[in-house]
Amino acid sequence: MTKSSFPKTYSSKKQLKKREEAVEFVCMIDLKILRENTEAVRRGIEKKKFQCDLEGFLALDQKRRLHITRTEEARAKQKSANNDMAALPKGSPEFLKKVEEMKSLAAQVKELEIEEKAIEEKWKALYLSIPNVPHESVPVGKTDKDNQVVLTWGDCSKISPCAVPHYDIPWFGKLIDFPRGVKVTGAGFPFYIGDMARLVRALLNFFLEEAKKAGYEEFMAPIVVNAASATATGQLPDKEGMMYYANEDQLYLIPTAEVPVTNFYRDEIFEESELPVYRCGYTPCFRREAGSWGKDVRGLNRLHQFDKVELVKWVHPDHSFEELEKLRLDAERLLQKLELPYRVLAICTGDIGFPHSKQYDLEVWAGGQKRWLEVSSCSNFTDFQARRAGIRFRPKNGKVETVHTLNGSGLAIPRVLAAILENNIQSDGKVKIPSILKKWIDTEFIGA
RNA sequence: GGAGAGAUGGCUGAGUGGUCUAAAGCGCCUUCCUGCUAAGAAGGUGGACUUGUAAAAGGGUCUCGAGGGUUCAAAUCCCUCUCUCUCCGCCA
């Protein structure tokens, strides 16, 4: 697109249209359950922090269904009249009479269709605003303070007494160069240099290898996606501001591999025998983090670009909560093998995301900063995301059903790196590299 | 980037305005037959929404790349977009 002969507004209009289109196929919570089990859904949603108008939606849903019936009846009439007419000799008096009859039928149908479209639009908007219902095992709470510590692994008190925040390590700037990142790109885009770059690569290899052992097939995925994909996984339309956007081509830089990997199976139907499907992928992740910049985000704690391995599962609805536990263990094992103390949080109803039914966060202990850093978030979306993305399966006997999707980081690199730097620092100022990484990095210590 | 061709069901592929309610073949499923296999016979064969029901069966509407238009009526005609293929150009 070197010759931009079209006016600037053109691309933004097109872009807007595209976004609207992308929202078209969207559907979210199970309508049947919502209609038949309204109370349970209401109770579940009330525990979440999201507002939605259930009553309004159900009233409109009723109206929509009535209207659909009316429109369909009109169309059926039109159709049968058309078939009658097809049997008549063209141009005969009967034929011409029928044409007149059909004119009025067509006008009726058209009118009903316009009305239906308007209702459908409102209906969809409300439908979209209904969040997923939290699982009964999710702790009830209002804010992140109410999240429950499920378990703590490792001994934080045994961390080296000389631990300092990683950004205060004297040689830190030599191996991770922020100022030059600023020069080349901007804040939050550091260069990793020499042994540090190798350490990042070693971690990636370790994560991918472990994922493979756990049964996840590796994807190397696109790192830019179109609006339809970003909508299917829920980044659009709400969290638009989190993503970098290539305006010229209407493509989004992915905030996580979840987006391309989950969309791999968008609008597809699995055979029941294929489930569960496990996939993983390493990608750089891009997050604008607009407005979230401030204290507590120094060094590697929060970046605009970072590396992450993501684990994704498509499973039978009957097993998704067991699969979540397994997924969490797959992520936990990584921290254990790296010998990094961590804890697992069960995210409470008030802090859980819009599409989540249940969510665990894994937080690694950063001994220098003396804080927990989130390195993984493992979630069961039940059928919520899959319905939106049109990912289903065909039971051996019976009708097509929506699969359940889950994903979890396994893991996000920079904060793991921060924990290694802070927890493994020796009295001589060097950092000991976890022995499990020996296979991919031959040095035992880095720094100084 | 330029020029041309094209997009029909799980696949191949017919269909240029009205019984298209999409042919035919392949595949798949069920049943039958043949002592295995192969071959053969009959029937069935997607998805969405909606109706119906305890659940089903059954009924209706939509669905021929996407969106819009023309028409009483569109897979079929017109416009826009997306994608695929071929050729040319450029290029890791």
pLDDT tens digits, residue range A21-62? Answer: 333 333 478 898 899 889 889 999 999 988 888 999 999 999
Domain end call among A97, A128, A159: A128
Closest nucleotide C1' to the C-alpha of A226: B82
How far apart are alpha carbons A410 and A264 in whole angstroms?
Answer: 19
Round to a whole number and report the distance in Å from the CA of A231 to the C1' of B44. 38
Round to a whole number and report the distance in Å from the CA of A443 to the C1' of B23. 70
Q: In A 69-98, which Cβ lie closer than 7 Å to strand B?
A: 69, 71-73, 75-76, 78-80, 82-83, 85-87, 90
Round to a whole number and report the distance in Å from the CA of A116 to the C1' of B72. 21
Label the pairing between strands A305-315 and A277-286.
antiparallel
Percent of chain A surpassing pLDDT 70: 93
Q: In the structure, what pLDDT confidence band is assigned to residue A20 with cuts at 50, 70 and 90?
A: very low
Same domain, A108 and A165: no
DSSP-assigned beta bridge partners for residue A269: A392
Q: In the structure, what pLDDT confidence band is assigned to residue A91 with cuts at 50, 70 and 90?
A: confident
**Residue A406 is inside which H or E element, if any?**
strand A404-412
Same domain, A70 and A188: no
- Strand B bases near protein CB (under 7 Å) are 1, 18-19, 21, 46-51, 60-62, 66-67, 72-73
A170: three-class secondary structure by DSSP: coil
Instruction: Judge if the beta carbon of A114 is closer than 7 A to nucleic acid strand B.
Output: no
How far apart are alpha carbons A390 and A105 in whole angstroms?
Answer: 35
Same domain, A150 and A108: no
Q: In the structure, what pLDDT confidence band is assigned to residue A444 with cuts at 50, 70 and 90?
A: very high
Q: Write down the pTM of the prediction.
A: 0.89
- Residue A293 scores a pLDDT above 80: no
CATH number of the structural domain spanning residue A399: 3.30.930.10
Beta strands in A49-204, from DSSP E residues, in sequence order: 148-153, 176-177, 191-192
User: Positive or negative CA dihedral for A50, A51, A54, A60?
Assistant: negative
- pLDDT tens-place string over residues A100-135: 888 889 999 999 998 988 898 889 888 988 999 999
Same domain, A335 and A426: yes
Q: How many domains does chain A have?
A: 2
What is the complex's ipTM, to 2 decimals?
0.87
DSSP-assigned beta bridge partners for residue A347: none
**How many other C-beta atoms lie within 10 A of the C-beta of residue A291?**
7
Round to a whole number and report the distance in Å from the CA of A273 to the C1' of B36. 28
Closest nucleotide C1' to the C-alpha of A105: B72
Domain containing residue A40: 3-128
pLDDT score of A247 = 83
- Residue A12 scores a pLDDT above 60: no
- Residue A309 scores a pLDDT above 90: yes
Phi/psi-derived region of residue A401, left when phi > 0, alpha when psi is between -120 and 50, beta in every other case? beta
Round to a whole number and report the distance in Å from the CA of A172 to the C1' of B88. 53
Query: Which carries the bigger pLDDT value, residue A252 or residue A91?
Result: A252
Round to a whole number and report the distance in Å from the CA of A387 to the C1' of B48. 12
